[in-house]
Structure 1
Amino acid sequence: MIDIISQLGGVAWTIVAFVVALSIIVGVHEYGHYIVGRWSGIRAEVFSLGFGPRLWSRRDRRGTLWQVAAIPLGGYVRFLGDADAASAGPGRPVDPALRRQTLEGAPLWGRFATVAAGPLANFILSTVIFAAVIAIQGVAVDRVQVGEVAPTPPGIVNELRPGDEILSIDGRPVPDWPALFSAGRDLPAAAAFDWTVRRDGAEVTVRGPHPAPPLIAGVAPRSAASGAGLRPGDVIRAIDGTPVFRFDELRQRVEAANGGAILLRVWRPGAGEADYTLVPKRQDLPTADGYEKRWLIGVTGDSGYFTPATRAPGPFEALRTGIAQTWSIIVGSVSGLWAMLSGQIGSCNLGGAISIAESTGQAATTGFTSFVLWIGVLSAAIGFLNILPVPVLDGGHLAFFTWEAVTGRPPSPRALRILTSIGLAAVLSLMIFGLSNDILCR
């Protein structure tokens, strides 16, 4: 009974987190349509967060009805004269004097800008989130300097202190952060090494752990590690009874298991040690040359028992970082979609609403910052999805407007009906396919 109640609580938390994240992303997307449409002289009749029966509503002085509906799985802006919430197809009849205030009767530039503003708003949201997080958390200083020291398991010696500047490890010079990461890859598995640091203006040698210990920095959603209950901050002490001291040992043992179950002895700060049995999953992993299939349990590492000392970035530096992160998600979405269509990776890499909801719940469980960053990732991904040239999506409308700009006339009503039907069928098929993957590809 306790297990059932715990699981129900986890499901409720997942649903709440998913609804909150989706409402933020959809609200920003639709507000992009609304505000640019208003600036373009197009009147919005309804701004709805959700579908179905109305739970709350208010009409503003411009005549727009703002409402929250009962089904929180999307939203829409219905402009004057729109036939439906998707603004698809021929519109409803309106007074000819008001035609300029409809989406259909607006100039081409106004229609294009209004439709493009939705995905653009998603990209702006992602950029702002990433920039704000980096501005708050800071960026690593150029020197390899210790910020905060993390808890270590019993028996692991760590004499590093906040403020130490790392000069060398086991005789290997560490002039910069790449050199530290290289040392983490190259040093042999051992419980401790000599670390030479500059402390209070003097060079001293202290004992410290492996620079790339088997410390879990992140847990992938819907992975073997996530299902077993592993968390960031956990330290893997042994695999199948054999002690491990660096993260690469975990990778090697997972590959060697070839899909078989592995037993991990894990230490968690404040909780002590416990055993976890995991069964690795075969997954497609991006590489420099494309993709390769590997056995994974879904954890990331290569972070040591300390965080870097940080500095506050300038606003432009934070903004550049936010733009770069948003752009990397768009590029990754394009390459992933192409790899799936070309058969380089399996179709199970495409998830549906269930996997997105589970990932959102796990991000919220990890912490507020992880949840906010996940909203940024989702917002960029949804923005990308919406600019695909598929009728019923924003990208489909933009494709029609581009056709009109090139030919001087919009597509015929018959062509619009046919293409819209095809686009709707494609989107529904994709949703069903994603949901089936959520169930079958576990």
Structure 2
Amino acid sequence: MMEGLPPVVSWPPLQTLMRLTLALAVGLFVGLEREWRGKEAGLRTFGFAALLGGMGGLLGPNFALLSLALLGVLLCFLNWQSLRANGGAELTTSAALLVTGFTGVLCGLGHTVTPAAVGVTTAGLLAWKERMATFSHKITAEELRSAILLAILAFAIYPVLPAQPVDPWGLIEPRAAWVTVILIAAIGFVNYLLWKMFGTHGVEVTGFLGGLVNSTVTVAELANRVRETSGRLLDVAYRGVMLATAAMALRNAVLLGLLSFRALVDSAIPLVLILLSSTGLALVRSRVEATPGAEPPALPLKSPFSLPSALKFGLIFLALQVVGTVGQTLLGRWGFYAVSAVGGLVSSASAVASAASLCANGTISPTTAGVGAIIASLASAAINFILVARVSEQRSLTLRLGRALGVVMLLGLVGALVQTRLPEFLPNTPGSPGLIEPHQP
């Protein structure tokens, strides 16, 4: 007796149509860029490749592998034809076709967000070819080494560090400290790359992005330019210093949010006041008093990530963490505030990271950590004012910045006072101005 054919696989029509439609949409989206560039594999080829992967995903793992193998054969013919025509292989298009085939398989298996995100990313990498090439050619050997060193410290050294405290008092945790060091350095390095890309388009961008990298270097250079030009860049320096102060507050807020979100919530009011007042005073002044023909200064910022800078951040962070813990144990939160003020004079980023780390470990309350971060930020602003007063040698600029930074510091202190009083008026608000009480057995 002749056996019958195997039963037909029952696929829900609507779900099947949705999966294949998504695969086709992703393929067409990526292929649109290749078609626009006049490549041999364009809109239709990418659409077919995504559909092939989608049907393979629907039929099962074996058919998915077969569809990708067939796509590999297609790529061999594509590159062979390209080599015969112009002597060059279509490596970028081939890689994009392979990725598109895999996204089709994901769509066939029922995934939605992942293939869509991969498709958008692929199209972006293809479309930003010129910008990425220009950016990579501008990177110096020192900056490339800095990026490689950052990766080594993050992925090679971090896993081998002890996760538990190494001292009898439980103050030094190498792995936790190293995470904070890498975080601070990575933020500075990314901001440095942004400054290189956009920092020459005006004093506003220069001052703000320079402040994200290193506000002290930015302010010192602006003041030095004022002295060299005999005061012709007073307005430029004023706006740059105020925007560098705003950038410093924004960077510290990001550090707080990444290391201890509760500490950021309990310091939101003063941080917002510092950020808005610094930015507002800079913009108002720039509209009222503009210096005709004033060129934005070229800041001599170097890559903030290197082995010496990483070790410096680590030593400052550990010192502040140890001294802050001892200070709050002996003198209460006022001892911790004093340590935060001194730390802000040296490195506000390290002081803020130390406060957030102590809060995350349960040593201090979120409100105490937030106030300590505000004090460190205001101390950094005070140091910037002292730098301008000593380096610029311009009394008018010193007075203008003194008034402006005085307003910023006053608003920050008022905001901190309001933030600490909020729990009294809102009983459900988390956090209290004191330290976390030790657990009672």
> TM-score if structure 2 supplies the norm length?
0.25
TM-score by length of structure 1 reads: 0.25
User: Which has more strand, going by share of residues?
Assistant: 1
Whose radius of gyration is greater, 1 or 2? 2
Larger RCO, structures 1/2 (Cα 8 Å, 6+ apart): 1
